[in-house]
Structure 1
């Protein structure tokens, strides 16, 4: 009689009361073929001794329980273990796992000996190892990974032309935006640093959702690459725990709890929940994730979330250039392997350059900024500057959606260089209050102080400094808020208010032509001592004028030399005398302010030879 025939029920009692039970056989199989351990967050796992370096949860759809049931059936001529035997075996195996040293199973990417290991997600456990000197495909990962039902396999990277150029052809953004996206993708394979939330912004018809789907699919393919905003914190935690890259699609408004959760997911988060089928046991969800979102208006986002955004603007796709979704999917699938290979090439070079990269100024996401600096060193790009500008713009957009913040900015701008020092109630009393209070407008001094504290980082980004460390006199000892505009914020205002020289006419654009390197002073004749040069105002000028230094007159009629950036091409509107050697050009209209020889009043001269008003010429009296 075979062993399988001898075992007849879930308790393992045989006809002759001999032989091990089903549960005992299942435990024996597990101990012979798997290593059992607990993760640092208290979850039991098993990893095959002679198989892929993959951590299998003891329970679940693709966990150890189902594996043991299959092995038992294969080894015992098709006999299936009972549910009670499997449950008893799992209880014993959890106890064995708890006695082992804890280990950390990683999700999709992991650090290893100065390099990066990327799990391809295949059933045989293949991976890619990237180091400072290149990358290579490896049949078995040196790092323990775990999988989830949300993950799909990555293709084997293959060098097939310029993968980045092929990705560029699938996205309708500027070159600056694309390079910034490449920097973000390279950083997405570095697991131990905070990643800003990639935000695709554009009007309807710009392909935001498709772009986000492709970008997340590059690093972490999933059956659901685009997701709606979760309904509560628990559902968000489950999603984030089981995917390395996530994308929230068509975000218009983000609840406060979700905004806080996204911020924590960027820097690292942990959530505690009650364990299934228990009253007092808990499970912990720990994660740091790579996040993306699509939105039309980022101004509805909270200020602390806006500081963690990396915004990529997408342009409208003309109908004549719009492509069908199936065509885009096929093009992306065909290019995916080459895109990965090119990204891994850049990542390897970045890993080699990073030890020598030091930032003199560190923005909020300093680790990510350092990676961008390494990308710039490798590719000779300027992604770090683009990122800083993008962060400032995102914060400014958020402040546009905060009426109270806008009122505070206006109040500080009017206060002058000394700024304001006042209590929260005094601030609330002095800001311009709308007739109909917006929803976010603080209703009392406590809420005003709290909102000012929350908005302080965003206000600082636009040049408004908030200092709340001071206290008022006794006995109230009220908190005082000192609000000042930075010097860089005050400079444009002071420049705009500078009085122009008497008689000077400007082009109305607030710029000074003498600051432009395109101005050619050598082409400007100097005024003579006897004849002061009349002031000139170029009709199409983009820049204003200051009196130029004296220079040698050009024998060529300077008003017609557009190639030398004079008045004809709007770059050189400055004080000039009439050229004595120039031949009058009636086809060139010149707006020169002079004094009429007949009446002494200011006049507009249309040609160099005209010296009188038309009325004076016809009627000198």
Structure 2
């Protein structure tokens, strides 16, 4: 007879005993996306999924065997127990469950170090320290790896990091700004894109960068084949890199844009016909590519493009040497980044930009980095973004033809169908991505409008024709290109407003003093 079947005189069923064991050691919560988790009462503040390889079910099966002299709970008993525990989790209001980075009740940033004991780093304006137990609830995934304890205090972590990367000083400073912003969870982050010919170390650089902010045994991923594959990858990692991207299909371009600003995917829940599960995420993304012109215009506006220099044969190192150097430097690099993040948080509330670029929150972080470091990363980022917009437009055959048309004719007003007939694509077959009808033409121009504005072409689709058809009209006109936003009013024009601050060490909470 199965141990899960209660019989007279034989005590509680195996399922009942499993539930009792679970309630003695865990409390049960539901996340804001409707997933049930178990949290150990006297352990790390880690949310365990009830099912799966890293979940409570496996741990409970082993605890049952240890408690009842090697007796093994059946699959049906475990399934019955999980159903009861899911009901317990559903009794309470949903709670935030974070992945790698979260915001504490006092506003501080909490970074899960990923260790078995649940240690974390807590960053507040002007200070940071490590803690044995996180003040916020984190979940883990099989795509996560632990981070080393940051330190030592006073190390030259940024210098050590730059020595591992083949990029010039302006590019490196923008990278540092991106790394600092990557731990600020409530803002959109541009897609860090490493560009360079073969032999520039794009893939290795991307892996090192991702493993600084969200270590993973698979920091580099292949291009996902569909939306479900992407959702699984994004749900399991705070930061991830798509390696060797050459062509991005429209669905993936749209998905990456949404993941920058926050995305949600609704799918049917497992083993049900009428219930759904919601995957919600904002992610920190990186890519490597050779041809930046292959990127779609709307995605190009959300990129931070950094070029890598060709590595000479006399400077090349083996993978083993690079890995050893990175692991040796990583604690000091983490400490330096946390130092800088604490100082950025101290000045960020007062940073104001004269005008707002597309990735305005990220631009404010760069302005704060410039203020505390005496750098000019914001100006470099804005200049690179403007060039990238032009490159993306040049890589789009329809966009290039549209820009040339306005250059020749100046202001033009008409229907999308009329415009489609006037735009030649040259000899031979229609280029890939060329719109086939007026509806697609109108939609394509709307998507290209931000890039067109950046090169001095205005698009207005708010007018209607005066005939009985009341057709929608497009007006294309030559305008002055969008100016780059001015530096923040609080940014220094010369040296830093105060001398560099000594890094704050592990375990210290000494506030930063300007």
TM-score (norm 2): 0.91
Match of 1:98 among 87, 90, 99: 90
Task: State the distance in 2 between where 1:445 and 1:431 align.
Answer: 12
- Name the residue aligned to 2:17: 25
- Name the residue aligned to 2:491: none
Matches within 5 A, 1:271-286: 271-286=265-280
CA drift at 1:489:
8.7
Asked which structure has the greater RCO (Cα within 8 Å, sep 6+), the reply is 2
Let me know the Cα RMSD of the aligned residues. Answer: 1.6
Matches within 5 A, 1:172-321: 172-321=166-315
Task: State the distance in 1 between where 2:482 and 2:332 align.
Answer: 46
Asked if the contact 1:250–1:293 (Cα under 8 Å) also holds between the matched residues in 2, the reply is yes
Match of 1:62 among 47, 54, 68: 54
**CA deviation digits over 1:440-474, x for unaligned, max 9?**
22333333222211111111111111111112212
- Name the residue aligned to 2:415: 423
Q: SS at 1:372's partner residue?
A: helix
CA drift at 1:389:
1.5
Instruction: Specify the structure having the higher radius of gyration (Cα).
Output: 1
Task: State the distance in 2 between where 1:87 and 1:17 align.
Answer: 24
- Name the residue aligned to 2:500: none
Q: SS at 1:311's partner residue?
A: strand
- Name the residue aligned to 2:120: 127
CA drift at 1:82:
2.0
- Name the residue aligned to 2:353: 359
> Unpaired segments of 5 or more residues in structure 2?
484-514
**CA deviation digits over 1:26-46, x for unaligned, max 9?**
111111211112111111111
CA drift at 1:356:
0.6
Q: Does 1:140 align with 2:169?
A: no
Answer with 239-248 or 36-45: which moved more. 36-45
CA drift at 1:364:
0.8
Task: State the distance in 2 between where 1:37 and 1:118 align.
Answer: 21
**CA deviation digits over 1:526-581, x for unaligned, max 9?**
xxxxxxxxxxxxxxxxxxxxxxxxxxxxxxxxxxxxxxxxxxxxxxxxxxxxxxxx
Q: SS at 2:355's partner residue?
A: coil
- Name the residue aligned to 2:160: 166
Asked if the contact 2:195–2:289 (Cα under 8 Å) also holds between the matched residues in 1, the reply is yes
CA drift at 1:420:
2.1
- Name the residue aligned to 1:484: 477
Match of 2:396 among 386, 397, 402: 402
Answer with 284-293 or 76-85: which moved more. 76-85
Task: State the distance in 2 between where 1:408 and 1:452 align.
Answer: 9
Matches within 5 A, 1:496-507: none
- Name the residue aligned to 2:329: 335
Task: State the distance in 1 between where 2:119 and 2:443 align.
Answer: 51
Q: SS at 2:99's partner residue?
A: coil
CA drift at 1:140:
0.5
> Unpaired segments of 5 or more residues in structure 1?
1-7, 491-621
Matches within 5 A, 1:537-576: none
**CA deviation digits over 1:105-142, x for unaligned, max 9?**
10000011121000000011000001112110100001
**CA deviation digits over 1:348-396, x for unaligned, max 9?**
0011001111111111111111111111111111111111112212221
Q: Does 1:40 align with 2:63?
A: no
CA drift at 1:253:
0.5
Answer with 290-299 or 456-465: which moved more. 456-465
Asked if the contact 1:10–1:83 (Cα under 8 Å) also holds between the matched residues in 2, the reply is no
CA drift at 1:164:
0.6
Matches within 5 A, 1:608-619: none
- Name the residue aligned to 2:408: 414
Task: State the distance in 1 between where 2:70 and 2:346 align.
Answer: 54
CA drift at 1:400:
1.1
Asked if the contact 1:159–1:342 (Cα under 8 Å) also holds between the matched residues in 2, the reply is no
Q: SS at 1:249's partner residue?
A: strand
Task: State the distance in 2 between where 1:321 and 1:77 align.
Answer: 61
Task: State the distance in 2 between where 1:358 and 1:169 align.
Answer: 33
Task: State the distance in 2 between where 1:489 and 1:286 align.
Answer: 34
Asked if the contact 2:454–2:481 (Cα under 8 Å) also holds between the matched residues in 1, the reply is no
Q: SS at 2:245's partner residue?
A: coil
Distance 1:138 1:489, change over 3 A: closer
- Name the residue aligned to 1:445: 438
CA drift at 1:255:
1.1
**CA deviation digits over 1:478-500, x for unaligned, max 9?**
2222212223599xxxxxxxxxx
CA drift at 1:476:
2.4
Asked if the contact 1:115–1:351 (Cα under 8 Å) also holds between the matched residues in 2, the reply is no
Q: SS at 1:124's partner residue?
A: coil
Asked if the contact 1:176–1:386 (Cα under 8 Å) also holds between the matched residues in 2, the reply is yes
Task: State the distance in 2 between where 1:326 and 1:34 align.
Answer: 42
Task: State the distance in 2 between where 1:442 and 1:460 align.
Answer: 20
Query: How many residues are treated as equivalent by the alignment?
Result: 480
